[in-house]
Structure 1
């Protein structure tokens, strides 16, 4: 049994706790999406929108996209921008490589490589995009004749249809939300303040939570617990509050989930004594986003855990906060 368990680990065979209902729903959604793409493109053929001689009115990589949008609807790689940007950017890269690089093998390899880099930088990583770039290079004369029209028909046509089906189909089931942001806005999770929690989250808790969600999650319970442990170790390095609250800077309360919040100090009074020293702040992200408020400087300091800065679209600890951690 131990040998089998080790082999499962090396092969990456993880337990799938989704229900049979969820598996069948995913399969049905994917089938309907491809059917919708086929029907829409057939209508375009009949209307003369697409040249009747074009055989590539549906791109095979859409089958892979259907797997992501219906089997992993809450995954980051499945979201609308990943789908749209991933396919369109990759298609553009593929067409350019096919035109500018005379050797097909070199063009194909270059197209996939550049497509991956482009999706990374544009934050639209979508694995089927690699297949789209490859199709633009190896699709044959029918694809080459389309030129840059390949981006519109069939790529954009296919993508818009499968996206529309994904939004409509997933909305029929209350536990499936696509785009995933819909679920974050509507799902009100009762969450206790961290100070009132006396129990330690365990690996078994993560496994139970994943099973309760009844949706394929692209991370294992083991991976989640390792991530949590690293986060806890990181948090334990600094449990103090900022020494000084400075106007114009941003601060985080360091909490998790719906309790997390980022505030920016937009104005201050600096009036003595401390009981009159007030600041005005604006909530930039998280709990209470876009709200404004006023409070005593000391109250704000006790709320804040550390100063943060926006880098690459993510809030990270400022250099000063990191230096304070090292000193502590």
Structure 2
């Protein structure tokens, strides 16, 4: 058997020579099939592929990389895996990378906190990647990091703002405007806001758009309540809002904080949406199962991940010019919002 090296039956991986012998063709023909060249006759190609399958042969990716200059691997640097958005984005990146014929090498940034982004790039370079997807927020990127990004094809995901490097982002401002205008359109005099962390670009952009929308409609801008994306922080903010009878509409910067706020309002005897309307942001899978079902801003994380991989692969394979991609949001209206009774 080709996979047995000697009488001791020590296993070794089948070689290109083994496949050639099994298929009754030359090693050069096997090499052409393994590298996807289209100059091999279909019948011969099928014979070679069948021999590969019988022997369990897998092309030597390292050797192919040395020959082609490509490793068919994309690096991913990610600041966190716990958030709903990052997990959905990573899932889309993995799916699109696989479809394009690339594998992923993931480097969670918190595992090398002291080395920072520069250390993450060094680690990925050691793993021989063709390009890098950086899933970070704008405040995590510094001028010194740009030199590392410039040295290898890279796309930054959800970086926000106008950046001097290729980015793909959710239209955060549009989503916050849709949420705020929805509540104003229901007759609420103003809209209170539970924001995410102050050091988060997404949170800052949503809060800025909320404020700008209120001002554009000549409405009072209440003070912002800051959370940390968790339901617990939304609950704490909700307790403060529940104590103010003038509060009739709340826009939370994510669904988890909206969930916590609705629990606090319920505990205080404020009925959602009869007394207070609540809008979230994300459209988590369970948002429709909240009590009541949550009106929220849907983010197309799948489109973000797919667009980022497409942009990066185009840069790698075709030296494409990458700019800034912006993915729109959509307001999903459910039962947590209703016309104001005042």
TM-score, normalised by the number of residues in structure 1: 0.29
Larger strand share, 1 or 2: 2
Higher helix share: 1
Relative to the length of structure 2, the TM-score reads: 0.28
